[in-house]
């Protein structure tokens, strides 16, 4: 529910602009050339031109990404054989690995590697009172305008002109449209059996606050994270998997003492921006956009979006909001349950404040795909390559016997069995080796391991071919696992944004 308003840009870390004094805070304004102008109120630093380019990859169009996604098994149109269901997408064998890696990597950074965040996996259907208390029944809506001629509907804040972009007809009066999907629970379809498909995962963390806090014995500050499906009856879905009606969110509610919320908000904004960079998104394609006061959702005191520069322009990947004590208080009031917390060190009882990083798994996967895309070389040497960070790449390794010759197969399968428990590994023996390298480049597999006749007849060594440099090294099978680990680690460092 963001609106198109005047935009301000700023960054939280000085490492982004290589400025030596960590106390100087910058505001960044991106320029068309990829350069950012940084502005600060510090008297000795007025304007600086900062270039945050590290890797120089080719930009591409959305059409190219959509066709690559289909051709290589990342994403298909839902129900395609029936003509497709508009704005609904299915992940194929390669895409499901990509999206799973995005979610697993987030879960690892957010839950497994931290002492102060635990996870839950809650149901999509919740008690209808949850949505009354949270304010979604009343105000989870977007302004909708309808063309009086062609009757197409648009989100008012997304149309740039006064007339219909479809037929230039006139719009009627804007009205609010609630985005929640409704369904019925049980055999009777009436108002008393109406339930909603959750439009965000966050509410499950609020209503389970006490259960989780007491069973995990966590003390404030601590967070509850969840990954799961959400549903919104979007007025204008589009841009491939960017805005759909069914999508997956990765959200974390961080409960903290009132008064410490602004500091935690700053911390989680920083964390979020760095998470994308650490996993391969280029810094110059990312920015943090602070919401204007009139753009804030009803529950938020302050929000900022991590935005990515998609082929069609800047788009939100994640919102980090200071939700205050709004949700816990609203649920306490509606349910009659006390959701306050007793701080036994300070001997104080209070309702915690909440800072929320809320990210979309599908949008993030699309950003990783767009950002990894590169083309290089000419003529026969030309190739498309997805330069994913190894933790995000759908597969780590492809085992490629030089040909389907029966002499090679047993050794190639043995190498496959050695690597499979440690890495996400594909086996491919169809078509020429050159074509197979290209195919692996196009799905972003960091390393290919080739088994040839020398392997079988002579040295029990294989060739590792690096996706980015195309360098090849010969390694004895007994050292293969550690050689692969080293190469993947190097690629992790090289691909940081
Ligand atoms: P937008 O204004 O772009 O529709 P939003 O501000 O309403 O998004 P939030 O409520 O902040 O989104 O949700 C958190 C995250 O969930 C978003 O940053 C986005 O990554 C993801 N998300 C939200 N709506 C959708 C959608 N319709 N399709 C795919 N992802 C979505």
**Sign of the C-alpha dihedral computed for residues 497, 279, 494 and 447 taken in this order:** negative
**Residue 287 burial (C-beta neighbours within 10 Å; 0-12, 13-18, 19+):** buried
Q: Which among 140, 243, 252, 296 is the best mutation to test ligand 1's pocket, defined by most ligand atoms within 8 Å of the CB?
A: 243
For residue range 156-168, what is the model confidence (pLDDT) as tens digits? 877 878 888 888 8
Q: Using CA positions, which residue lies closest to atom 13 of ligand 1?
A: 358
Residue 145 falls within a domain, yes or no?
A: no
Q: Using CA positions, which residue lies closest to atom 20 of ligand 1?
A: 360
Distance 242 CA to ligand 1 centre (A): 9
Residue 245 falls within a domain, yes or no?
A: yes
Residue 377 falls within a domain, yes or no?
A: no
Nearest-atom number in ligand 1 for the CA of 232 is: 27
Residue 375 falls within a domain, yes or no?
A: no
Lowest-pLDDT choice from 38-42, 59-63, 321-325, 441-445 = 38-42
Rounded Cα gap, residues 442 and 65, in angstroms: 11
Cβ atoms of 157 and 195 closer than 8 Å: no
Q: For residue 229, is pLDDT > 60?
A: yes
DSSP for residue 392: T
Cβ atoms of 471 and 465 closer than 8 Å: yes
For residue range 152-205, what is the model confidence (pLDDT) as tens digits? 888 787 787 888 888 888 888 888 778 899 999 998 888 889 999 999 999 999
Query: Does residue 464 line the site of ligand 1, with CB under 6 A?
Result: no
Q: For residue 273, is pLDDT > 90?
A: yes
**Sign of the C-alpha dihedral computed for residues 121, 123, 127 and 128 taken in this order:** positive
Q: Using CA positions, which residue lies closest to atom 21 of ligand 1?
A: 360
Can you give the residue range of the structural domain that contains 195?
Answer: 8-30+59-131+189-369
pLDDT of residue 497: 66
Distance 9 CA to ligand 1 centre (A): 19
Q: How many distinct structural domains can be found in the chain?
A: 2
In this structure, the dihedral spanned by the alpha carbons of residues 250, 285, 444 and 461, taken in order and rounded to 10 degrees, is -110
Residue 101 falls within a domain, yes or no?
A: yes
- Do residue 316 and residue 397 come from a single domain? no
Q: Which residue has the higher pLDDT, 33 or 370?
A: 370
Domain termination site, one of 338, 369, 400: 369
Q: For residue 22, is pLDDT > 80?
A: no
- Do residue 76 and residue 106 come from a single domain? yes
Lowest-pLDDT choice from 147-156, 278-287, 405-414, 457-466 = 147-156
DSSP for residue 459: I
- Do residue 436 and residue 293 come from a single domain? no
- The proportion of the chain whose per-residue pLDDT surpasses 70, expressed as a percent, equals 88
For residue range 326-343, what is the model confidence (pLDDT) as tens digits? 999 999 999 999 999 999
Q: Identify the helix (H) or strand (E) that includes residue 388.
A: none
Q: For residue 378, is pLDDT > 90?
A: no
pLDDT of residue 58: 64
Q: For residue 5, is pLDDT > 80?
A: no
Q: Identify the helix (H) or strand (E) that includes residue 356.
A: strand 353-360
Distance 362 CA to ligand 1 centre (A): 10
Residue 157 falls within a domain, yes or no?
A: no
Distance 360 CA to ligand 1 centre (A): 6
- Do residue 428 and residue 295 come from a single domain? no
- Do residue 447 and residue 348 come from a single domain? no
464-410-440 Cα angle (round to 5): 35
Tokens representing residue 194 in the block: 């109406």
Rounded Cα gap, residues 482 and 488, in angstroms: 10
- Do residue 361 and residue 400 come from a single domain? no
In this structure, the dihedral spanned by the alpha carbons of residues 64, 440, 390 and 491, taken in order and rounded to 10 degrees, is -100
For residue 396, what is the domain's CATH number?
Answer: 3.40.50.800
Query: Does residue 318 line the site of ligand 1, with CB under 6 A?
Result: yes
Domain termination site, one of 299, 334, 369: 369
- Do residue 200 and residue 289 come from a single domain? yes
**Closest of 482, 337, 472 to residue 402, by C-alpha:** 472
Query: Does residue 234 line the site of ligand 1, with CB under 6 A?
Result: yes
pLDDT of residue 13: 45
Give 108's pLDDT tier (boundaries 50, 70, 90): very high
**Residue 11 burial (C-beta neighbours within 10 Å; 0-12, 13-18, 19+):** buried
**Closest of 458, 461, 459, 433 to residue 448, by C-alpha:** 433
DSSP assignment of 37-49, as one string?
EEE---TT--EEE
pLDDT of residue 44: 42
Give 27's pLDDT tier (boundaries 50, 70, 90): low
Tokens representing residue 481 in the block: 């696992």
Q: Is 194 helix (H, G, I), strand (E, B) or coil?
A: strand
- Do residue 257 and residue 285 come from a single domain? yes
Rounded Cα gap, residues 378 and 233, in angstroms: 45
Give 19's pLDDT tier (boundaries 50, 70, 90): very low
What is the average pLDDT across 363-381?
92
Rounded Cα gap, residues 249 and 212, in angstroms: 20
Nearest-atom number in ligand 1 for the CA of 243 is: 28
- E strands, 405-483, are 425-427, 447-451, 461-466, 472-476
- Do residue 199 and residue 225 come from a single domain? yes
Residue 323 falls within a domain, yes or no?
A: yes
Domain termination site, one of 369, 403, 421: 369
- Do residue 354 and residue 401 come from a single domain? no
- Do residue 48 and residue 122 come from a single domain? no
Q: Using CA positions, which residue lies closest to atom 25 of ligand 1?
A: 243
Rounded Cα gap, residues 270 and 254, in angstroms: 14
**Sign of the C-alpha dihedral computed for residues 51, 57, 60 and 65 taken in this order:** negative
pLDDT of residue 207: 98
Rounded Cα gap, residues 470 and 472, in angstroms: 6
The mean of the pLDDT values for the chain is: 87
Rounded Cα gap, residues 195 and 130, in angstroms: 10
pLDDT of residue 29: 53
- Do residue 223 and residue 86 come from a single domain? yes
For residue 254, what is the domain's CATH number?
Answer: 3.30.930.10
Cβ atoms of 58 and 375 closer than 8 Å: yes
Q: Which among 319, 320, 367 is the best mutation to test ligand 1's pocket, defined by most ligand atoms within 8 Å of the CB?
A: 319
Q: Given the structure tokens 């890797």, which residue do they identify?
A: 55
Rounded Cα gap, residues 250 and 272, in angstroms: 12
**Residue 54 burial (C-beta neighbours within 10 Å; 0-12, 13-18, 19+):** middle
Rounded Cα gap, residues 278 and 410, in angstroms: 39
Distance 418 CA to ligand 1 centre (A): 41
R_g of the chain computed on alpha carbons: 25
Q: Can you say how many angstroms the Cα of residue 381 is from the centroid of all Cα atoms in its chain?
A: 33
Nearest-atom number in ligand 1 for the CA of 360 is: 20
Q: Using CA positions, which residue lies closest to atom 7 of ligand 1?
A: 1
Q: What is the pTM of this model?
A: 0.86
Rounded Cα gap, residues 229 and 246, in angstroms: 7
Query: Does residue 2 line the site of ligand 1, with CB under 6 A?
Result: yes
Give 297's pLDDT tier (boundaries 50, 70, 90): confident
Residue 153 falls within a domain, yes or no?
A: no
Q: Using CA positions, which residue lies closest to atom 3 of ligand 1?
A: 316
pLDDT of residue 48: 33
Q: Which residue has the higher pLDDT, 229 or 154?
A: 229
232-237-243 Cα angle (round to 5): 75
Q: Which among 363, 364, 366, 368 is the best mutation to test ligand 1's pocket, defined by most ligand atoms within 8 Å of the CB?
A: 363
């Amino acid at each position: 529910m963001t609106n198109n308003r005047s935009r301000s840009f700023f960054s939280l870390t000085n490492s982004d602009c290589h400025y030596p004094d960590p106390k100087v805070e910058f505001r960044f304004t991106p320029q068309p050339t990829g350069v950012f102008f940084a502005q600060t109120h510090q008297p000795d630093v007025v304007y600086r031109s900062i270039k945050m380019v590290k890797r120089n990859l080719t930009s591409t169009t959305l059409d190219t990404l959509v066709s690559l996604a289909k051709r290589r098994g990342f994403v298909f149109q839902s129900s395609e054989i029936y003509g497709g269901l508009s704005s609904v997408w299915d992940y194929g064998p390669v895409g499901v690995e990509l999206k799973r890696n995005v979610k697993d990597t987030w879960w690892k950074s957010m839950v497994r590697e931290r002492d102060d965040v635990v996870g839950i996996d809650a149901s999509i259907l919740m008690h209808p009172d949850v949505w009354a208390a949270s304010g979604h029944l009343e105000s989870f809506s977007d302004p909708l305008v309808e063309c009086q001629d062609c009757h197409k509907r648009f989100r008012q804040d997304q149309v740039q002109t006064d007339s219909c972009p479809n037929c230039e007809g006139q719009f009627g009066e804007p009205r609010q449209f609630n985005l929640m999907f409704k369904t019925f629970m049980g055999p009777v379809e009436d108002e008393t059996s109406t339930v909603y498909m959750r439009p965000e995962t966050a509410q499950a963390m609020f209503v389970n606050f006490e259960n989780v806090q007491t069973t995990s014995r966590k003390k404030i500050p601590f967070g509850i994270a969840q990954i799961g499906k959400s549903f919104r009856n979007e007025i204008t879905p589009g841009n491939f998997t960017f805005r759909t009606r069914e999508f997956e969110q990765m959200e974390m509610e961080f409960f903290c003492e009132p008064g410490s919320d602004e500091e935690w908000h700053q911390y989680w904004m920083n964390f979020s921006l760095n998470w994308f960079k650490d996993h391969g998104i280029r810094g110059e394609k990312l920015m943090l956009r602070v919401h204007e006061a009139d753009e804030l959702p009803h529950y938020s005191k302050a929000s900022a979006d991590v935005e990515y520069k998609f082929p069609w322009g800047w788009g939100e990947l994640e919102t980090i909001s200071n939700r205050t004590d709004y949700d816990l208080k609203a649920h306490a009031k509606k349910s009659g349950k006390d959701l306050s917390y007793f701080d036994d060190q300070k001997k104080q009882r209070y309702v915690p404040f909440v800072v929320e990083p809320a990210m979309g798994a599908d949008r993030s996967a699309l950003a990783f795909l767009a950002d990894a895309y590169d083309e290089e070389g000419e003529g026969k040497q030309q190739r498309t390559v997805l330069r994913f960070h190894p933790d995000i790449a759908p597969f780590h390794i492809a085992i490629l016997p030089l040909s389907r010759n029966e002499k090679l197969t047993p050794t190639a399968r043995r190498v496959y069995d050695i690597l499979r428990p440690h890495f996400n590994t594909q086996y491919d023996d169809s078509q020429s080796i050159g074509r197979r390298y290209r195919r692996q480049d196009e799905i972003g597999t960091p390393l290919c391991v080739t088994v040839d006749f020398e392997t079988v007849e002579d040295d029990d060594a294989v060739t590792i071919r690096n996706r980015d440099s195309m360098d090849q090294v010969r390694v004895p099978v007994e050292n293969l696992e550690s050689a692969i680990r080293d190469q993947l680690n190097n690629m992790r460092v090289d691909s940081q944004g």
